[in-house]
Amino acid sequence: MANEIFICHNCPMTRTMATIGTKWKPIIIYTIGLKQQRFGLIHAKMGLISKKILTEQLKELEEDGIVKREAFREMPPRVEYTLTDKGLELLPILNLLTEWNSRHHQADFK
């Protein structure tokens, strides 16, 4: 049992949730998807998130190598985000999650 506790503190699931385990991060990753997206568009698509929280979450995703930020020296300044290879690998997994939800969402309303 001591071994199991040790495993759980260090397990990939715990590490995964430390990386993407917020309500917003998977939605941000899903919203960026395969495109290069402007900050304002990500914010508009997500709708319910504040700009402050979105900025913080994107910064953490960038620090974890999931999102790449590119700032263009224009007037007005333009900042765009893409998923890195590491981030792109999450898309099919997040798709499985949404398929799981859709299956049961339909079932719940039958």
Binding to a second copy by CB under 8 A, coded x per residue (else -) over 44-83, reads xxxxx----------------x------------------
The answer to whether residue 36 forms part of the interface with a second copy (CB under 8 A) is no
The nearest distance, CB 2 to a second copy, in angstroms, is 9
Q: How far is the CB of 45 from a second copy (least distance, A)?
A: 5
Give CA–CA dist 11/6, Å, rounded: 8
**CA 39 to each of CA 15, 54, 58, 71, 79: distance values in angstroms, whole numbers, following the listed order:** 27, 9, 9, 10, 6
DSSP code, position 82? E
Surface-to-core class of residue 17, CB atoms within 10 Å of its CB (0-12 exposed, 13-18 middle, 19+ buried):
exposed
Q: Which residues bind a second copy (CB under 8 A)?
A: 1, 4-5, 8-9, 11-24, 26-27, 30-31, 41, 44-48, 65, 86, 89-90, 93-94, 96-102, 104-105, 108
